[in-house]
Structure formats: C-alpha cells, structure tokens
Amino acid sequence: MKSSERRMTVYDIAKEAGVSASTVSRVLTGNGPVNEQKKELVLKILEKHEFRPSSVARSLKARRSRSVGFIVPDITNPFFSSMFLEVETRLAVAGYTVILCNSESRRERELEILQMLMEKEVEVIVLTGGIVDDLFPQPKMLRDIEKINHRVPIMTLSKFPGVRCTQAYSDEKQGVFDIVRHFHEEGHRKIGMIGGQMDVRQAFERKIYLLEAVNQYGMECRSNWLVEEGFSMQGGTRAMEKLLSLPERPSAVFAYNDVVAVGALSVIEKHGLKLGRELALAGMDGISLTESIYPGITTVAVDYAAFSDYVVEFVMNQGKGEQYKEDRVFPMHLICRGTTNVNRDAVHPVR
C-alpha cells in the first residue's frame, strides 16, 4: 500500500504499448484516428492497469474543470439538501462533480467560499439563499459578486436585485399572499411571523410581503408578533415560545420556512393548543417533512423540479452562447394540511 509509488501516466502506457503518448491520448479521448490493432493493444494495456487519466492535468489543458460549486447556508436544511440532491444527481450523469459549501449565512464566509471556488476553477457557481447582496448592499459587496461573476458564471437561486447574474427564484410574494389568504379564509385575523434574520434580504422580503398581505386583507399584525431567531428548527422553537409567552398573541403564524415551522409545531403541541383553531401555522418551501409528520404542516411549495432543471440546463449551456440571462420566476403552490385545517379531526380519528 505504498503511496510513494509514482502515478501511472500516459507515457508509461505508451512505452508498454510501444507507441507514443499522443496515440494513447487519441485512444483515450477518441480524437484523431488510430490504427485498429494499435488501438486494441492500447486498450488492453489501459484495462490491465485500470488506468484513469488524471482529470487535474486534463482540466489544466482543456481549461474545463467539469465541476461546479454549490453554496448553501446550511445543508442540514431539507430544502437545500433536496435541491442539492436533485441537482447533483443530474449533473453527475453528465460527468460533473459538485463541490458543496456551507456558508452558515455569514457574509465573510460566503465571500471566502466564492474566492475558493473561483480558484478551483469551477465552471459555474450556484448560490442558494446567498446573502452577498445584503439587505442594504454596500457598493463593495455588489462589486465583489459582479467581479467574480465576470470570471465564472454565477447562478443564484434567490433574488439579488440589481446584480448582473443569472437568477432563478420563486414568486415568494405570491406564496406569502396565498398563505395569508388561506389564513383569512379560515377565519384568522391576527397574524404573526417567526424565523428569519435581520440582515438576510430574503427574510426581510418575506416579512414585507406578509405585512402587505395582512394589510390588504384587513388583518392585524403587531410588531412584537414578529419574532426572528434565525432559520433553524431550534430557532423556530425559541421563536414560538417567545410568541406564546406574550399576553396577547396572534391566532395564525407564518413561519419563515418549513424547518422553522417544524420547530414551532412542537411548542404548540407541548402547550396543548388546538392546532388550526387556537393556533394555525404555515411554513414555506414544501419540504417532504411537512407531509411526513402528523398533522401535516401547511406550506407553499417551491417547484424543485423546475429549479433543478434550470440549474442543470444553465450548467450544460456554459461556454455556448450567453452568459447572463433574464431572471426566471417560478410560481409557488399552496398545500393545505393539518396545521391550518380546523376540520382535520373530522378526517382523522381524534387523538
């Protein structure tokens, strides 16, 4: 098992086959003609040594790394892991390799990662839920991402207004409005929101949308019914606990995402509140967990397939033609489940 052994190269193969390295390379890539017998001989020797050409050397010459970078805030969030699974599976078939990086929703970390991925010469960087834009984008940040984008195409899976890079995102405004309308139809008039983080644009925007919707439907939302506490399950738990400790509280709560909703749900159940009637809850993203726990969590789902198709298409089309496309907006769709359905108990046995 000595790793000191030098790696086999095309030259070694060439020598053994009594041909030149060029010929071996031609056999390997299929570029250029090779005498049928020599080809077979070379193939036999390649097979014998189980020779695999170094893709590092190959990348250097070809100026193509056949790899892409994928940045997520936290791979532990099922929304991101599902998205990654879809994308990775499809890109793998096409011979691409995906480098996954966790940014922890920290701006410095994100920039470090972008630098690193550029050095690695990935062909595309997919930035999901990035925060580079910041809520109030400093000019520097904007420059950063555009400069980087100048060298390696970036595709963001969330909205970065004003940044010149290919963007794909869900129609979150529509999604939030769908939820609020649903709350309204179920008779709720006092709405709260949990989850999110001050400096993340996406969180900020969803909050704005909520307020707009609440306003439009003539409902109420007090400022202390907006509890942040981040994007995690634990955050959802903390936020809901804070919310429930208030003297007066909303009857319906919109969670920043499904993960936060799951964390919040346990608090509601622990407190013995009647779901849907005493306290309704809805999340966002449409992760599979929302339908796998009882009672199902109402959510607006993103179109995973559409997203990953688009990402794969973008990666595949790199080099050929345009580098920058119009924003692509996907609709979200509301899925009503137990956490907002007051008639739930009629369907399933009473617990």
Q: How many CA atoms lie within 13 A of 88 on its CB side?
A: 13
Q: Which residues contact 351 (CB under 8 A, 6 or more apart)?
A: none
Given the rule CB under 7 A, which of 16-24, 168-176, 195-203, 333-341 is the region that contacts DNA?
16-24
One-letter amino acid of 256: Y
One-letter amino acid of 295: P
Smallest gap from residue 240 Cβ to a copy of itself (A): 11
Q: Which is nearer to DNA, 34 or 45 (CB)?
A: 34
Instruction: From the list DNA, a copy of itself, none, pick the one residue 11 interacts with, judged by a Cβ distance below 5 to 8 Å according to partner type.
Output: DNA
With CB under 7 A as the contact rule, the residue among 11, 185, 222, 294 that binds DNA is: 11
The verdict on 234 binding DNA (CB under 7 A) reads: no
Q: Which is nearer to a copy of itself, 73 or 175 (CB)?
A: 73
The verdict on 324 binding a copy of itself (CB under 8 A) reads: yes
CA–CA separation, 166 and 147 (whole Å): 14
The pair of three-digit structure tokens given for residue 212, joined into one six-digit string: 């707009």
CA–CA separation, 269 and 262 (whole Å): 11
The verdict on 59 binding a copy of itself (CB under 8 A) reads: yes
Q: Which alpha helices (DSSP H) does 65-198 contain, by range? A: 78-93, 107-119, 139-151, 172-185
Q: Which is nearer to DNA, 23 or 341 (CB)?
A: 23
Fill in the per-residue mask, 265 to 284: x = in contact with a copy of itself (CB under 8 A), - = not in contact. xxx-xxxx------------
CA–CA separation, 70 and 55 (whole Å): 20
The verdict on 20 binding DNA (CB under 7 A) reads: yes
Given the rule CB under 8 A, which of 11-19, 116-124, 223-231, 247-255 is the region that contacts a copy of itself?
116-124
Which strand (E) or helix (H) includes residue 31?
none
CA–CA separation, 197 and 238 (whole Å): 14
Instruction: Give, as ranges, the residues between 142 and 161 that touch a copy of itself (CB under 8 A).
Output: 147, 149-151, 153
The pair of three-digit structure tokens given for residue 299, joined into one six-digit string: 């959510």
CA–CA separation, 124 and 126 (whole Å): 6
With CB under 7 A as the contact rule, the residue among 29, 76, 89, 343 that binds DNA is: 29
Smallest gap from residue 42 Cβ to DNA (A): 9
Q: Which residue has the tokens 């796998």?
A: 292
Instruction: Give, as ranges, the residues between 173 and 232 that touch a copy of itself (CB under 8 A).
Output: none
Count of residues engaged in binding DNA, rule: CB under 7 A: 33
Instruction: From the list a copy of itself, DNA, none, pick the one residue 32 interacts with, judged by a Cβ distance below 5 to 8 Å according to partner type.
Output: DNA
CA–CA separation, 275 and 294 (whole Å): 11
Smallest gap from residue 270 Cβ to a copy of itself (A): 5
Q: Which is nearer to a copy of itself, 59 or 174 (CB)?
A: 59
Closest CA to 24 of 1, 41, 7: 41
With CB under 7 A as the contact rule, the residue among 28, 43, 135, 211 that binds DNA is: 28
The verdict on 113 binding a copy of itself (CB under 8 A) reads: yes
With CB under 7 A as the contact rule, the residue among 2, 3, 6, 326 that binds DNA is: 6
The verdict on 65 binding DNA (CB under 7 A) reads: no
Fill in the per-residue mask, 66 to 105: x = in contact with a copy of itself (CB under 8 A), - = not in contact. -x------xxx-x--xx-xx--xx--x----xxxxxx-x-
For the stretch 270-277, contacts whose Cβ atoms lie closer than 8 Å and that sit 24 or more positions apart, written own/partner, are: 271/244, 273/244, 275/338, 275/339, 275/344, 276/186, 276/338, 276/339, 276/340, 276/341, 276/342, 276/344, 277/342
Residues at the contact surface with DNA, assessed by CB under 7 A: 6-11, 18-26, 28-29, 31-36, 38, 53-54, 56-58, 60-63
